[in-house]
Amino acid sequence: MSLLRQLLLSVTLAILVILAGTTIFSIGSARQYLDAQLQGQSDSTATSLALTLSQPSNQDPTVRELLLSVLFDSGQFQVVEFLDPTGRILIRREMGDGRDDRVTAPDWFSHLLPLERHEAQRQVTNGWSQLGVVRLQASDAYARNALWDSTARIVSLTVGAGILWGLFVAMLMRWLRRALQDDVTARVQAMAQAAAGDELPPVRHPAMVELREVAQIITHAHQRVQATAAEHQSRIESLELELNQDAVTGLANRKYFINELRRLLEQSAPGQGEDGHVMLFRQCDLQSINQTMSRQVVDQWLRNMGQLVLEVLRERLGPQAWLARLNGSDFAFVLPMVPGPVAVRVAQAVGEILQAQRIQLGQAGLCRWRMVLTDFEPGEGLSDVLSRLDEALMRAESAGHTDVEYLPGEDLRSLTGGRGGGEQAWRTLLRNALQEGWFALATQRDPSATSEDRAQGLLTLHEPGASEPLSGYLFMPPAVRLGLSAACDVQAVSLGLGWLRTHPGDLVLRVSLASILHEEFRGEVAALLADMPDQSARLLMDLDSYGLVAHRAQVTAFAAMLREHGVRLGLRRFAEQPEALLYLHEIRPEYIRVSGTLLAAQADSPGARRLLAAVQDTAREIGAVVDLAAGS
């Protein structure tokens, strides 16, 4: 509904309320006036009749009855009666109970607006002695007719005024619409359709002050539009370039990446187009880099890294290849119509560039890149591909390796039972598992142990209705991202201690670095270990070497707590964090697992051989075993 129509409708409703109220009050006032008139008539006539009957000449019964009959025959009274002092009726004249022919008002009106019953009585005396009482009841026939006529006139006048107002409103709306169309709508449409040098149509209703002011504003706006049209046109081209470009690196931005990926997914029906791959890599230590170096140096480093990666992509894929910066630390590119083996080789080439461009972060070592790769097919949902990338990134961050984490879509669907890999789905699953106790411990013999009495424990999740349990390798990366790893690791420790109660030998459990950094985790684990000291002596905690370098205080405090309860320690991924060699004496692990990367490099690298020798020498000094057969 237009604003004008709302305004006129509001005024119309207000006028109708005023007219209705005026009509009701007028009719009510008329009825009150007629009631007062009838009561006054009854009182005055009763007084006059009583005085007349009190005269000695009128005390004869025949004369008295004659006077009462004359008064009743006047038609102004419904009842006329004379009573003796004891209350006995001596003379009574009364109209019938049927409808009075003199009343012209309809019955419904009489019931709707009834008049009061007006009675009056006076004493008739002869000196000091009472002769009787005269009682009168006025007839309301004439008053009812007068009230009906007055009401009919008032209602007719009100309806007539309403009809005239309605006609006036209709004419006013038509006139205002025409004026608005001529001086506002037509000029605005002309301004929208006019060329740069065209003029607006003239104002047709200059007498209206409001429309004249609006017309002046439209004219000024038209002039400003003409003045800025050329400037806007010149900025459009530059804005189109900036819209899809990262300001720091000059690479494509997130919007361009999303639009291109969506276009590839929607270009054909499912199963009818060419498959492709998407690679995403993240700089995990960008915040530490910004704290270590100036912003200009970091920006230049990111630009150089982006250009080197872009050169590799264009060398292998052609000049149409591009690289996008999704946010501060995430970069991605699409490999359309590229089969899996080729995509993996491209990803490895990019990974080599990234590893070569790492920056030293003091005692924490070199900065870390996490690289993930997944496939897609036309017709697949954009959110599914992005969720798969996020899932792969969570796994890469949890695993901590420097390889490309490859997660095909079919593999994720088979491992998760078609559940999907988004954060919300994982959050719901993990919270339900923690509340309902869906966790269990899967054990197997530790292949790197010197004896057969040491087992490795892995936390598994048994969701009701699932075909097979989920391995901790699948759900712990999302748990770390969602801040639920500490609760999961507490479950693992509790289940491990329970397993040791019923099984001989030792048990190795992995503990994530995120759990160690959690404030309440240490206390909860200490409480579990204190309740089962015999089993704690046969428990080994497997820690990440990166935590000993990056979070030395928290890890050493956690290790000290474990030693207090007789729990032994082990370190994994030592080759990726050789700086941990400086702090081995603080935690004194029972074993050190060195990945195959260092072993493969020692054949050609004197530095690798010296590092391995230093690790073995240090391990002998602290009584640790170097596991050269284990992976990361």
Where is pLDDT greater, at 33 or 308?
A: 308
Nearest residue to 389 (alpha-carbon basis) of 330, 476, 307, 328: 330
Residue 610 domain-assigned (yes or no): no
**Alpha-carbon distances, residue 95 vs 72, 98, 145, 453, 534 (angstroms):** 9, 9, 18, 125, 118
Q: CA 521 to CA 490: how far, in whole Å? A: 7
Question: What CATH number corresponds to the domain at position 156?
Answer: 3.30.450
Q: Phi and psi dihedrals of 198, rounded to 5?
A: -75, 150
Domain shared by 54 and 130, yes or no: yes
Residue 97 has pLDDT above 70, yes or no: no
β-pair partners for 593:
627
Residue 507 domain-assigned (yes or no): no
Domain shared by 221 and 254, yes or no: no
* CB-based contact 103:141 (threshold 8 Å): yes
β-pair partners for 134:
82, 122
Type of residue at 624:
A
Domain shared by 55 and 157, yes or no: yes
Nearest residue to 265 (alpha-carbon basis) of 347, 371, 345, 384: 384
Indicate the range of 157-161, 312-316, 318-322 predicted with least confidence: 157-161
What stretches of 13-58 adopt beta strand conformation (E)? none
Residue 341 domain-assigned (yes or no): yes
Mean pLDDT of 309-317: 92
Mean pLDDT of 320-345: 88
Nearest residue to 555 (alpha-carbon basis) of 533, 537, 565, 570: 570
Which pTM was predicted?
0.49
Domain shared by 253 and 149, yes or no: no
Domain boundary residue among 367, 393, 421? 421
* DSSP H helix total and E strand total for the chain: 23, 18
Residue 566 has pLDDT above 90, yes or no: yes
Domain shared by 320 and 394, yes or no: yes
Q: CA 490 to CA 434: how far, in whole Å? A: 10
Element (H, E) at 71: helix 61-73
pLDDT digits (tens, 9 = 90+) for 62-74: 777 787 777 777 7
Residue 574 domain-assigned (yes or no): no
Contacts of 235 (CB under 8 A, 6+ apart): none
Residue 353 domain-assigned (yes or no): yes
| Helix/strand/coil for 37 | helix
Going by their DSSP bridges, the two strands 77-83 and 129-138 should be labelled as antiparallel
pLDDT band at 37; cut points 50, 70, 90 = confident
Q: What is the pLDDT at residue 200?
A: 62
Residue 272 has pLDDT above 80, yes or no: no
pLDDT digits (tens, 9 = 90+) for 427-443: 888 999 999 999 999 99
Q: What is the pLDDT at residue 632?
A: 45
Q: CA 438 to CA 358: how far, in whole Å? A: 41
Q: What is the pLDDT at residue 308?
A: 94
Domain shared by 230 and 294, yes or no: no
Q: CA 353 to CA 369: how far, in whole Å? A: 11
Structure tokens at 75: 């038609």
The number of folded domains in the chain is 3
β-pair partners for 91:
82
Contacts of 131 (CB under 8 A, 6+ apart): 53, 54, 59, 84, 85, 124, 125
Mean pLDDT of 615-625: 87
Mean pLDDT of 267-291: 79
Going by their DSSP bridges, the two strands 506-510 and 539-544 should be labelled as parallel
Domain boundary residue among 215, 243, 271? 243
Domain shared by 283 and 255, yes or no: yes
Residue 188 domain-assigned (yes or no): no
Residue 199 domain-assigned (yes or no): no
Domain shared by 236 and 277, yes or no: no
Residue by residue, DSSP assigns 420-449 as ---HHHHHHHHHHHHHHT-EEEEEEE-TT-
Indicate the range of 147-151, 497-501, 514-518, 537-541 predicted with least confidence: 147-151
* CB-based contact 216:184 (threshold 8 Å): no
Give the mean pLDDT of the chain.
80
Domain shared by 102 and 7, yes or no: yes
Residue 180 domain-assigned (yes or no): no
Cβ neighbour number for residue 387 with a 10 Å cutoff: 20
Residue 603 has pLDDT above 70, yes or no: no
Q: CA 130 to CA 116: how far, in whole Å? A: 30
Domain shared by 253 and 389, yes or no: yes
Question: What CATH number corresponds to the domain at position 401?
Answer: 3.30.70.270
pLDDT band at 631; cut points 50, 70, 90 = very low
Q: What is the pLDDT at residue 493?
A: 96
Q: CA 616 to CA 183: how far, in whole Å? A: 93
Residue 279 has pLDDT above 90, yes or no: yes
pLDDT band at 313; cut points 50, 70, 90 = very high
Domain shared by 322 and 409, yes or no: yes
Type of residue at 102:
R
Domain boundary residue among 421, 440, 458? 421
Nearest residue to 323 (alpha-carbon basis) of 402, 383, 254: 254
Domain that holds residue 358: 247-421
Burial of 288 (0-12, 13-18, 19+ CB in 10 A): middle
Residue 239 has pLDDT above 80, yes or no: no
Residue with tokens 């994994």: 572
Residue 205 has pLDDT above 70, yes or no: no
Indicate the range of 117-131, 478-492, 512-526 predicted with least confidence: 117-131
Question: What are the respective helix, strand and coil percentages of the chain, to the nearest 5?
Answer: 60, 15, 25
Residue 196 has pLDDT above 50, yes or no: no
Domain shared by 233 and 281, yes or no: no
**Alpha-carbon distances, residue 133 vs 49, 91, 100, 123, 376 (angstroms):** 10, 11, 27, 4, 113
β-pair partners for 404:
371
Q: CA 91 to CA 84: how far, in whole Å? A: 9
pLDDT digits (tens, 9 = 90+) for 348-389: 899 899 988 888 877 667 888 999 989 888 888 898 899 889
